[in-house]
C-alpha cells in the first residue's frame, strides 16, 4: 500500500480543502448557486463544514471560455479514473475473477472510488460534477441542450472545507 486509506486521504496529505466545478442549470448565477448549495445540504455521502461558490471563477455556458474549461474539468476526472485503474492493475487486480478474492482494504477502496466515478456519486475526489445528469461526465445529448440554451447553464467553481 503506497498511499493511505484512499477514502480519508486528507489525514495523510493534510488536505482539508477541496475544489470542484459543478455544471448546473439555472437562470443566472444566483439561482445556480442556490441549487448547488441545496445539493450539498441534502447530499449524505460528503459533508463539508464550509462551501464557497466563487463567482469570479464561475462561468456561464455563453462564455467563450466555457467549453475549454468544461473539457479540462472532465479530463481531470478521467485522469483520476485512469490513475486508479492503473494502480489496481499494478496491485494485480486484472480480471473480474480477481474481484471475487479481493480482500477488504486499500484495493477495494480504490475500486469503490472508481465505481463512484462511473456511477455518478459525488465524492471528495470529484473534480467535475454534472448536477443535471448526476454524472462525472457530460453526454452528447446534454451538450446539445447546453449549446441550445447557453444562458441557462453555468459551471460553478466551488471551494469547500471539511
Phi, psi of 12 (to 5 degrees): -80, -40
pLDDT tens-place string over residues 1-20: 344 444 444 554 466 899 99
**Considering the entire predicted model, what is its pTM?**
0.88
Give dist(CA 82, CA 114) in Å, integer: 9
pLDDT tens-place string over residues 98-130: 999 999 999 999 999 999 999 999 998 999 999
Instruction: Compute the chain's Rg from CA coordinates.
Output: 17
- pLDDT at position 162 is 87
- pLDDT at position 40 is 96
Lowest mean pLDDT among 35-44, 76-85, 102-111, 150-159: 102-111
Give dist(CA 35, CA 2) in Å, integer: 38
Q: What is the mean pLDDT of residues 15-26?
A: 93
Residue holding cell 459551471? 155
Amino acid at each position: 500500500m503506497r498511499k493511505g486509506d484512499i477514502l480519508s486521504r486528507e489525514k495523510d496529505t493534510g488536505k482539508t480543502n477541496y475544489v470542484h466545478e459543478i455544471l448546473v442549470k439555472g437562470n443566472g448565477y444566483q439561482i445556480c448557486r442556490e441549487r448547488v448549495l441545496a445539493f450539498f445540504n441534502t447530499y449524505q455521502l460528503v459533508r463539508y463544514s464550509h462551501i464557497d461558490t466563487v463567482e469570479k471563477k464561475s462561468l456561464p455556458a455563453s462564455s467563450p471560455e466555457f467549453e475549454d474549461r468544461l473539457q479540462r474539468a472532465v479530463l481531470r476526472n478521467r485522469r483520476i479514473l485512469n490513475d486508479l485503474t492503473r494502480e489496481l492493475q499494478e496491485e494485480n487486480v486484472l480480471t473480474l475473477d480477481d474481484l471475487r478474492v479481493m480482500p477488504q482494504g486499500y484495493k477495494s477502496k480504490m475500486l469503490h472510488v472508481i465505481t463512484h466515478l462511473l456511477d455518478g456519486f459525488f465524492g471528495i475526489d470529484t473534480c467535475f460534477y454534472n448536477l443535471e445528469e448526476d454524472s462525472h461526465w457530460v453526454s452528447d445529448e446534454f451538450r446539445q441542450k447546453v449549446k441550445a440554451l447557453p444562458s441557462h447553464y453555468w459551471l460553478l467553481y466551488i471551494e469547500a472545507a471539511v
